[in-house]
Amino acid sequence: MAKKMSLRSKAIVVFFVTLLLILASLFAGLGKLRDQVLRNEAQAVSDQVVSFRAWVAGTGMVWVNKLTPQFDEYLAVHDAGDSNFFYGKNPALATRELSTIANKTSTRASFSVTSDNVRQQANAPDSFEKKAIAEFTTDKTVPFVEAYEAKTYRYARPLIVKEGCLKCHGDPKDAPAAVIKKYGGQKAFHYKVGDVRGIISVKLPSITLVEALPTLINPWSVGGLVLAFLINFLFTTRFILNRLHKLTEDTKAIVSGKLDTPLIYTPPTESNDEVDHVYHSVDLLKRSMELVVRKIKRK
């Protein structure tokens, strides 16, 4: 049968197990921090999109007097005379053009607005977006949906139908003629206030845990961790293991007959240290042995 491990060996094992548990906890916390950072960034992008759409919807349309080859779509046209025309772009068109520009110039975030009932096939949702729409439709209390795909972080938040949306997405009979002319009277109608019209979908390059690790590895954090373990190790070694080793040697000496072996400790009346209490018990045993020896010598 193998011998039991020494207390010193057990302490070393516990020390390294504790170290591994702390490192695992740090990595778990780092993963949560990464999620929160990416989520906050995606939420900020979606907030800007919501504000932009609200601004456009508040005026009904954005009117421009020039169309570019890249953005030649419009919902309505207004003849201002003298061959001067203004072209109206509704929130959907304006947002799509904004996303096209932003996605080409942004170094990180890209976004799109999509739905399960799109008016243009180019805006059709992908698999992640379909799942997000289904989840929002099933449970309208869900504030967002997120996922990781390869090296990309995906985020989606719902677009809820408001009273102002019903003009173009309620009953087709009430829709502006320009909307019917461009999109027809079948797609993206019959919504009610509170329905999920679609989602804002944001993509961000993911941050790996290795990339996020430098946020924790700095002179202060590493120094504090090393100092904490040194203090723990030195305390355990000096005030517990070394004292127990000395007590063991002193006890062996007493058992072998060296009753004059000095036992150095603080009396229990002045100490709550358990090792001092064990020393005191050994000291009592030593005194009893001394009395026995004296009685034997007298006889």
Torsion of CA 210, 211, 213, 218, to 10 degrees: 130
Burial pattern 70-79, b for ≥16 Cβ within 10 A else e, equals ebeebbbeee
Upper half-sphere CA count for residue 294 (Cβ side, 13 Å): 7
Beta-strand ranges (E) seen in 3-109 are 62-64, 76-79, 85-89
What is the DSSP code (8-state) at residue 6? P
CA angle 193, 194, 200 (to 5 degrees): 115
- pTM, 2 dp: 0.71
**CA 20 to CA 13: how far, in whole Å?**
11
Phi, psi of 111 (to 5 degrees): -145, 165
Q: What is the DSSP string of 197-243?
A: EEEEEEEEE---HHHHGGGT-SHHHHHHHHHHHHHHHHHIIIIIIHH
Q: Any residues with CB less than 8 A from the CB of 15 and at least 6 apart, and which?
A: 229, 232, 233, 236
Q: Which two tokens stand for residue 113?
A: 């607005």
Side chain identity at residue 131, one-letter code: K
Answer whether 159's CB lies under 8 Å from 196's CB: yes
pLDDT (0 to 100) of residue 3: 73
Answer whether 111's CB lies under 8 Å from 46's CB: yes
Q: Which residues pair with 145 in a beta bridge?
A: 156
Q: Which two tokens stand for residue 206?
A: 């993911």
Answer whether 169's CB lies under 8 Å from 197's CB: yes
Sequence-ordered alpha helix ranges (H) in 148-212: 166-169, 177-183, 209-212
Answer whether 153's CB lies under 8 Å from 205's CB: yes
Q: Which two tokens stand for residue 94?
A: 């304006």
Q: Residue 250: is it exposed, middle or buried by C-beta count within 10 angstroms (0-12/13-18/19+)?
A: buried
Phi, psi of 280 (to 5 degrees): -65, -40
Torsion of CA 239, 240, 243, 244, to 10 degrees: 180
- Sites in the chain below the pLDDT cut of 70: 1-2, 215-216, 299
